[in-house]
Amino acid sequence: MSFLDLDEFLLELAPRVELVFSPIMDVKEFPADVDLCLVEGALCNTDHIEMAHKIRRLTKAVVAFGDCAITGNVSAIRNQLGLGNRENVLQRAYMESAQLNPCKPALKGIVPPLIERVMPLHEVIRVDYFLTGCPPHAERIKSFLSQWLAGQKPRLQGLDLKFG
């Protein structure tokens, strides 16, 4: 959503980039030869791990986009429950909080299994750039993308690196 806050910069951006994969596009497979990928969110389940490796393999520059991807942030709070938290989390979400038909997702291939602890992206793959913020402010994204489009190695500093 914060990306959409780029407002008119999106119009400047549109002719200069080719968007090949995104949650708002109907593309199922991550394509090859991607120049830049903004990865949002922490890694919570086995699908995420697989996807992260695929992104790394097919992308030149990977950006950890936002606090969740960089630190685990709120999504990693379940790690405080210890390594057995997978079961507790499912128990709480699907059994205790369920009002109708409480049951844990067990069918294979429907819901990917949670991993033991939520991880930031750079614990799993090599990350080239970090864009902090929850969410990263539009100005910060603009500054990063402008530098990158100008062929520079993007470098943010000061308040542009603030977490939260």
Partner 1 sequence: MAAKTLTINGRQISAAEGSTVLKAAEEAGVEIPSLCHLDGVYDVGACRLCLVEVKGASRLLPACTTVISEGMEVQTGTERLIKYRRMTLELLFAERNHVCSVCVADGHCELQTLAYSLGMDHVRFDYLFPKWDVDNTHSLFGMDHNRCILCTRCVRVCWHIEGAGTKNVSGRGGQSKIITDLNAAWGKSDSCTSCGKCVQSCPTGALFYKGSTVGEMVRDRSKLEFIVNAREKKLWVYQD
What does the binding site for partner 1 look like in residue numbers (CB under 8 A)?
64, 67, 70-74, 76-77, 79-82, 117, 120, 122-123, 127, 130, 132, 134, 156-164
Nearer to partner 1, 134 or 149 (CB): 134
Nearer to partner 1, 109 or 158 (CB): 158
List C-alpha distances in Å: 99 to 67, 82, 89, 91, 94: 32, 27, 16, 13, 9
Give the Cα separation of 2 and 21 in Å (integer): 17
Give the Cα separation of 73 and 126 in Å (integer): 19
Q: For the CB of residue 2, give the shortest distance to partner 1 in the complex, in Å.
A: 12
Q: For the CB of residue 120, give the shortest distance to partner 1 in the complex, in Å.
A: 7
- H helices within 6-135, ranges in order? 9-13, 46-58, 67-71, 85-90
Give the Cα separation of 48 and 42 in Å (integer): 8
Q: Which of 40, 18, 135 is nearest to 52 (CA)?
A: 40
Q: For the CB of residue 40, give the shortest distance to partner 1 in the complex, in Å.
A: 14
Q: For the CB of residue 68, give the shortest distance to partner 1 in the complex, in Å.
A: 9
